Amino acid sequence: MKSTDFLSIRDVSRDEILELFRIALDMKADRSKYADALKGKSLAMIFEKPSLRTRTTFDIGIQQLGGYSLYLSPAEISLGKRESVHDVAKNLERMVQGIMIRTFSHQIVVDMAKHASIPIINGLTDYSHPCQAMAEFLTLHEAKGELKGLKLTYVGDGNNVAHSLMFAGARLGVDVTVACPKGFEPNVKAYEDAMADAKETGAKIEVVYDPFEGVKGADAVYTDVWASMGQEAEAAERKKVFRPFQVNEELMAAANKDAIFMHCLPAHRGDEVTDGVIDAPTSVVFQEAENRLHAQKAIMYELMK
């Protein structure tokens, strides 16, 4: 990888993404080959937002590579409040060999990378979720083979996950359709950046307002919660707005017959997805969750070796 950090899918080229997939699948097939790859190296994990999958996959992942992790909660670090991002970066770069951050503001991750001399990995911000997108497209590759020319439809809020799916699709030549209610479109700059990148691969990036129109021809149908962390006060109102965008059996039937269902989890069953869809044989949600481990191990290996 040319970049020394992993802040966005846009930091890596198509060839670099495919190489990370190759490494991830190699690690998945034989964990022992990389058991000492990061022997003695440490990863600081800064969590301003909690997570089952991010915490577990980074913690276990660095250990499976021979290293170890340090969990830092808001009680230890309140970035930009208790201590400046600059000072946190300058402290940690002398103590650990890599930093993973799961936080709210994307600018915090950008500033951390600016000030720290060690690799920074974006574990999630309100703007993007690149590690999740890596796991999604790794899973799509396992399920469908060649990625170029496939269509993935994201149904729901045009949030950080939608942004990273657009970025990855644009890089890999996968058409990405975001089907959302009016007023809940992806960030304008994120959409424009994805459109610019898509010119190189021929991918089609679009936003539509009818979920049934969106899933036509889809090889994968993807959704996320209607109210993310920090939006709890809006949850009741969002339910009303997003109810027509529920991924249910009727909507899945409008996609390709062999379309898979994807979700970054946690899922609010009965809201954005029905039990009949998430528990169907075509659902790959737990395969995606596992692939967070393998994709992130590949990223840590490339940045910290």
pLDDT digits (tens, 9 = 90+) for 211-250: 999 999 999 999 999 987 677 788 899 999 999 999 999 9
Confidence category of residue 113, pLDDT binned at 50, 70, 90? very high
Residue 2 domain flag: no
Catalytic residue check, 163 = no
Q: Read off the pLDDT of each residue in 177-181 and give the average, rounded to a whole number.
A: 98
Catalytic residue check, 26 = no
Per-residue pLDDT, 294: 98
Residue 119 has pLDDT above 80, yes or no: yes
Query: Do 159 and 284 sit in the same domain of this protein?
Result: yes
Per-residue pLDDT, 230: 72
Tens of pLDDT, residue by residue over 49-73, are 989 999 999 999 999 999 999 999 9
Query: Do 78 and 14 sit in the same domain of this protein?
Result: yes
Per-residue pLDDT, 233: 81
Query: Do 251 and 106 sit in the same domain of this protein?
Result: no
Query: Do 137 and 70 sit in the same domain of this protein?
Result: no
Q: Which of 171, 292, 294, 296 is catalytic?
A: 292
Per-residue pLDDT, 80: 75
- How many independent structural domains does the chain possess? 2
Catalytic residue check, 224 = yes
Q: Which of 5, 10, 111, 132 is catalytic?
A: 132
CA distance 264 to 186: 17
Residue 75 has pLDDT above 90, yes or no: no
Query: Do 272 and 203 sit in the same domain of this protein?
Result: yes
Q: Which of 53, 59, 64, 102 is catalytic?
A: 102
Query: Do 167 and 30 sit in the same domain of this protein?
Result: no
Residue 56 domain flag: yes
Q: Checking DSSP bridges between strand 205-208 and strand 42-47, what pairing results, if any?
A: unpaired
Per-residue pLDDT, 234: 86
In the chain, which ranges are E strands? Answer: 42-47, 68-72, 98-102, 120-124, 151-155, 175-179, 205-208, 220-223, 260-263
Residue 157 has pLDDT above 80, yes or no: yes
Q: Which of 53, 157, 171, 264 is catalytic?
A: 264
Residue 4 domain flag: no
Query: Do 299 and 260 sit in the same domain of this protein?
Result: no
Query: Do 242 and 140 sit in the same domain of this protein?
Result: yes
Catalytic residue check, 132 = yes
Query: Do 71 and 123 sit in the same domain of this protein?
Result: yes
Query: Do 145 and 268 sit in the same domain of this protein?
Result: yes
Q: Which amino acid is at 303?
A: L
Residue 1 domain flag: no
Residue 103 domain flag: yes
Catalytic residue check, 264 = yes
Q: Which of 224, 246, 271, 294 is catalytic?
A: 224
Check the CA dihedral 60-161-17-261 and report its sign.
positive
Per-residue pLDDT, 228: 79
Query: Do 216 and 266 sit in the same domain of this protein?
Result: yes
Query: Do 158 and 262 sit in the same domain of this protein?
Result: yes
Confidence category of residue 82, pLDDT binned at 50, 70, 90? confident
Q: Which of 10, 53, 129, 238 is catalytic?
A: 129
Per-residue pLDDT, 62: 98
Please state, in angstroms and as integers, the Cα–Cα distance from residue 127 to each residue in 24, 84, 160, 164, 227, following that order. 25, 21, 5, 9, 15
Q: How many CB atoms lie within 10 A of CB 85?
A: 23
Average pLDDT taken over every residue of the chain: 96
Confidence category of residue 76, pLDDT binned at 50, 70, 90? confident
Provide the residue range defining the domain that includes 181: 132-288
Asked which of 75-89, 127-141, 215-229 is least confident by mean pLDDT, the reply is 75-89
Name the one residue in this structure whose structure tokens are 């990389």: 34
Catalytic residue check, 129 = yes
Residue 257 domain flag: yes
User: Which of 247, 243, 245 is closest to 277 using CA atoms?
Assistant: 247
User: At 28, which CATH number?
Assistant: 3.40.50.1370
User: Which of 247, 262, 230, 290 is closest to 52 using CA atoms?
Assistant: 290
Q: Read off the pLDDT of each residue in 137-154 and give the average, rounded to a whole number.
A: 98
Q: Read off the pLDDT of each residue in 109-138 and give the average, rounded to a whole number.
A: 98
